[in-house]
Amino acid sequence: MKLTFIYFDFPFWRVEVGRIALFMGGIEFGNKVVGNEEFTRAWGTGRLDDGTVIPFHQLPCLLVDGVSIAQTAGISRFCGKLSGLYPRDDDILAAQIDQFLDFSTDVTELVFATGRGDDDEIKKAKREALAEDELLRKLQMLENCISSGADWVLGAGLGLADIAIWRLMGWLTSERVDGIPAGIISAFPKISKVCRAVDAYPRIQEWVSKTYPVGYVRGHYG
């Protein structure tokens, strides 16, 4: 099976969950990096310059033997199934994992939608307000879902939910999202603990040193 991720040159959670799942499972895959100009064209046409279909004119996509699969959660589940990180015979655990993938999408949309169409200063002000209100409310809900003392969001080992939350929080606390302070995580010790555990996990460390630029700020986890 030939697997190729199509995404920007940025290790965002939306693509990293699938990539890391495959990496952890020892499954080979490739990457096609799309620049902003090509993406603008694909956003309009639904195809990359080489003709590859982008079903919903959005990224990420995963090409599986030439078939384009879109949507982060679907891609993550597919990769999780290949690598043993997403159950094929435990519907409740599968649904629990799904809820954290979809939660990560909700938070991402909440942030991206804030200030969309506004100039940079207004956008920043709106995101600062978000970081003091609705975003905190969402993160508190996530905090409430994690058991005290747990290293992982679900079960006894690192899984897709942890990878999603680690990269989502890494993005939010990276100081690359104008208006969202890196310290936002400090009110949430259980989320911080999960992020630190993922960040220190040997196979994740291996992935980071293999694929992230030296000195890349992965986030501030408290």
Ligand X SMILES: N[C@@H](CCC(=O)N[C@@H](CS)C(=O)NCC(=O)O)C(=O)O
Q: Residues in the site for ligand X, rule: CB under 6 A?
A: 12, 14, 43, 57-59, 71-72, 105
> Which CB, 85 or 111, lies closer to ligand X?
111
> Which CB, 43 or 212, lies closer to ligand X?
43
Residue pair 82/25 in contact (Cβ under 8 Å)? The answer is yes
Question: At its nearest, how many Å lie between ligand X and the CB of residue 148?
Answer: 31
Question: At its nearest, how many Å lie between ligand X and the CB of residue 150?
Answer: 26
Question: At its nearest, how many Å lie between ligand X and the CB of residue 109?
Answer: 8
Residue nearest to ligand X (CB): 58
Question: At its nearest, how many Å lie between ligand X and the CB of residue 53?
Answer: 14
> Which CB, 172 or 197, lies closer to ligand X?
172
Question: At its nearest, how many Å lie between ligand X and the CB of residue 220?
Answer: 22
> Which CB, 79 or 197, lies closer to ligand X?
79
Tell me the C-alpha distance between 48 and 39, whole Å: 7
The dihedral through the CA atoms of 91, 18, 29, 157 has a sign that is negative
Residue pair 33/7 in contact (Cβ under 8 Å)? The answer is yes
> Which CB, 62 or 142, lies closer to ligand X?
62
Tell me the C-alpha distance between 88 and 94, whole Å: 8
| Helix/strand/coil percentages in the chain, nearest 5 | 55, 10, 35
Query: Which residues are paired to 33 by β-bridges?
Result: 7
Tell me the C-alpha distance between 88 and 86, whole Å: 7
Question: At its nearest, how many Å lie between ligand X and the CB of residue 105?
Answer: 5
> Which CB, 68 or 72, lies closer to ligand X?
72
Tell me the C-alpha distance between 215 and 171, whole Å: 15
**Token pair of 34, please?**
């799309």
Q: What are phi and psi of 131, to 5 degrees?
A: -70, -15
Tell me the C-alpha distance between 212 and 203, whole Å: 14
